[in-house]
Structure 1
Amino acid sequence: MNRIKLLILSLCFFHFSFPVDHSFHPDFGLEWCYFVGHIESKSGNHYGYELSFFRLKFSDDKDWNPEIFPVHFAISDFSSKKYKNSQTIKRTIGDLAGYSEKTIYSGDYHLEIISKDKFHIKAQSKSKDLSLDLELEGNGKILVHGDKGVSIKSNRNPNIFSYYYSYPRLKTTGNLFMNGKRETILSGNSWMDHEWNEKNSKSLPTLATGETGWDWICLSDSLGGDYVFFRFRESHIVTPEVFGTYRNPEGKTTYWKEPGQVKMETIGSFWKSPNTKIEYPLHWKIKYPGGEWIVSPLFNEQEFDGTKTTSTIYWEGGVEAFDPIQKKSSKGYLELKGYKKPKEWWEF
């Protein structure tokens, strides 16, 4: 039986099992579990945050090499338009990182899996000037993407896929520390995303190497609906492919995968990072069946330079959106990966 048939057969029998699948999966080489959210403090300030746990394990077609565990952490102060981040990368040596059915940790960054619907996340920067300690509780409604959790990223190349689910609308409380001030978080909503793929990093095309890039956004609207849109670029020379997931307030999920069903278009000028000189499209129009979202960042300076840990630089930050057709608003997070620094004039 060839490799493609084995892949199709394995996908047919796949299903999620919670809370076990909230943790990492040792049989796969590439995985990330991350949280983003819009939260409000007792003082009335509004914040956003990102806490991303990665797991990387590479195969040489015969054996697995040791695992590494990068973490990316950022807080956006929407009230003052300030942004700070930190990162780490650890291995299991000396018990500096690891995971079980109940926890994922790397250095001073921890995810405690209390149950299917409850989580506790803690993050502490090395410099001690940025920290987060949050309790998250869901409503039991996990959002599964694709065909029973198998999310194809390219119709042209269905070997590029991930096992993918989200957990929107996690009620959030706790505290954070930023810019010399500790804040008590009284309310807010967090969004969990979890993906994994690559049983053998040399046998199938990978989601996150080479020239791949993507534009990803999650939105929770004011009427109770949840959206994910994903614009995948296998390389800079092919036309991007766009996919979408929508769960309505009544709980019905629709997956848009056919070409043209969803369109993600950049609008306005790009923002150029003063740090990396990379230009990002921060304003978008997303057309989907029955409506469209006009997306804008809450402020521009939310770029994450992860070259020290994952060799990636990307923009990830809080956004707001308005649908002029359905007359509703939403909040969410936007991630832009694969935008390269332009060459200087003397490099051509």
Structure 2
Amino acid sequence: MNRIIILLLSVWFFHFSFPKDHSFHSDYGLEWCYFVGHLESESGNLYGYELSFFRLKFSDGKDWNPEVFPVHFAISDFSSQKYKNSQTIKRTIGGLAGYTDQTIYSGDYRLEIISKDKFHIFARSKSKDLSLDLELQGNGKILIHGKDGISIKSNRNPNIFSYYYSYPRLKTSGKISMYGKLEKIVSGNSWMDHEWSEKNAKSIPTLATGDTSWDWICLSDEFGGDYVFFRFRESQEVPPEIFGTYRDPKGKLTSWTEPGQIKMEFVGSFWKSPKTKIEYPLHWKIQYPGGEWMVSPIFNEQEFDGTKSTATIYWEGGVVAIDSKEKKSAKGYLELKGYKKPKLWWEF
């Protein structure tokens, strides 16, 4: 108990400093900077995308081993319901990956931090038939999670936490290419998530250890409200814990951290991936104080097989949501991590 109290006291005084904190943090073992968005092209086609920069370094108990930099990249063609992704994992050897206060890069994937509120992201698959080149402009309204940016993932185990902020409603323009078709992006909004944790860890980071899993969703409604909801499971043997953050159109921030404040449950049947045979719950009902979101995927086949980079398979895709009580709609992204292929009856 004393160790937990000391841990919490040590992190409560943390404060973000931008634009410096947009980049990676060398003192921490696990980190990701993540962009998703809903876009419209000059031709009227609708797209979604994911571009996630990861940083991971393990410890042998005495010294840090070299860092590795996986990247996940995907484009969803919402108009034709087509999905394509790519990935890489690089190290700093030979200058193939790295970071400064202004840049994060790994192979042909790059984030340029132009200022506190402006970013340039670039991605190109190895096959060169999937690419992205986008400018992102923020409105100055960064969303801080938890208490001063400390996001506790489990009330049962407060040692599982991250430093966490989001940057919703990044106005987006540029170009994307999918299957060789180049599209000019004339409007759209992106969402940035940035988390890091595990300072001076002596093993694989706690947040990603063992059977940890989560269901996470970000939503931006039509009136200017932004939401994050997530169900975190420390293991498959314990019930999930549910947390949420809401910022209203006037900027008022509400955090839901206590049991029972939010109900987040899947509805309908599971979707079974034809490639991995993993079953995912893609339709959700989220009850929060004052409203209820009914969330649905724009289309089902948005599964990311990251076994060649981060050794994870998850569902990550664009969603829409309706709140009939509050008479509003929203767009966002849903991530489902930790679902596994069910064993057949003859497997042990």
How far apart, in 2, do the equivalents of 1:184 and 1:301 lie? Answer: 24
Q: Which residue pairs with 2:218 in the alignment?
A: 218
Tell me the equivalent position of 2:194: 194
What is residue 293 of structure 1 aligned with on the other side? 293
CA contact (8 A) 1:159 1:205 kept: no
| Separation in structure 2 between the aligned mates of residue 133 and residue 59 of structure 1, nearest angstrom | 35
Residue matched to 2:340:
340
**Which residue does 2:170 correspond to in 1?**
170
**SS of 1:207 mapped into structure 2:** helix
Match for residue 207 of structure 1? 207
- The size of the alignment, in residue pairs, is 348
Alignment correspondent of 2:82? 82
Deviations 1:239-270 (A, max 9, x none): 10000000000000000000000110100000
Alignment RMSD, CA only? 1.3
The answer to whether the Cα contact below 8 Å between 1:160 and 1:205 also exists between their aligned partners in 2 is: no
**Aligned to 1:345, what secondary structure does the other structure show?**
coil
- Once residues 3 and 109 of structure 1 are traced to their aligned partners in structure 2, the CA distance between those partners, rounded to angstroms, is 40
SS for the counterpart of 2:47 is strand
Structure 2 unaligned blocks of 5 or more: none
Q: Does 1:9 align with 2:4?
A: no
1:141 — aligned with what?
Answer: 141
Deviation sequence 1:50-86 (CA, Å, 0-9, x none): 0000000011221111000000000000000000000
**C-alpha distance in structure 1 between counterparts of 2:31 and 2:334, whole Å:** 19
Aligned residues with identical type, % of pairs: 81
Identify the residue that residue 259 of structure 1 maps to in structure 2. Answer: 259
Deviations 1:149-188 (CA, angstroms, capped at 9, x unpaired): 0000000011000000000000000000002210000000
Q: What residue in structure 2 maps to residue 234 of structure 1?
A: 234
Correspondence for 1:124: 124
Query: Any conservation in 2 of the 1:36–1:51 contact (CA below 8 Å)?
Result: yes
Q: How many Å apart are 1:3 and its aligned residue?
A: 4.4
Matched, 1:38 2:2: no
**Any idea what SS the aligned residue of 1:210 has?**
coil
Residue 346 of structure 2: SS of its match in structure 1? helix
- The 1:137/1:183 distance shift into structure 2, 3 A limit, reads same
Where does residue 28 of structure 1 map in the other structure? 28
Shift of residue 6 of structure 1?
A: 3.9
2:59, 2:203 within 8 Å by CA — same for their partners in 1? no
Q: Quick one: which amino acid aligns to residue 327 of structure 2? A: K
**In the aligned structure 2, how far is the partner of 1:219 from the partner of 1:8?**
29
Partner amino acid, structure 2, of 1:298: I
Extract unaligned runs of 5+ from structure 1: none
Residues 203, 209 of structure 1: alpha-carbon distance in 2 compared, 3 angstrom cutoff:
closer
User: Which letter maps to 2:236?
Assistant: H
Deviation of the 1:12 alpha carbon: 2.2
- TM-score normalised over the length of structure 2: 0.98
Q: Is the 8 A contact 1:220 1:227 kept in 2?
A: yes
Partners of 1:203 and 1:158 lie apart in 2 by: 18
Matched, 1:270 2:236: no
Measure, in 2, the Cα distance between the counterparts of 1:172 and 1:211. 36
Q: Quote the offset at 1:237 in angstroms.
A: 1.2
3-state secondary structure, aligned to 1:346: coil
SS of structure 1 residue aligned to 2:206: coil
Structure 1 letter corresponding to 2:73: F
Contact 2:124 2:132 in 1 (8 A): yes
2:101 paired residue number: 101
1:208 is displaced (CA, Å) by: 1.2
Q: What is the one-letter code of the residue matched to 2:37?
A: G
2:273 maps to 1:309 = no
Task: Kindly provide the amino acid, as one letter, of the partner of residue 8 in structure 2.
Answer: I
Runs of 4+ in 1 over 4 A off after TM superposition: none
| Shift in CA distance, 205/98, structure 1 to aligned 2, threshold 3 Å | closer
Amino acid at match of 1:176: I
Classify the secondary structure of the residue corresponding to 1:316: strand
Report if aligned partners of 1:278, 1:339 keep a CA contact under 8 Å in 2.
Answer: yes
Q: Give, in whole Å, the separation in 2 of the partners of 1:136 and 1:30.
A: 25
Structure 2 counterpart SS, 1:309: coil
What secondary structure does 1:94 align onto? helix
Aligned partners of 2:58 and 2:204 also within 8 Å? no
Query: Is 1:110 matched with 2:126?
Result: no
Cα distance in 1 for partners of 2:84, 2:199 equals 35
Distance 1:301 1:65 in 2: 37
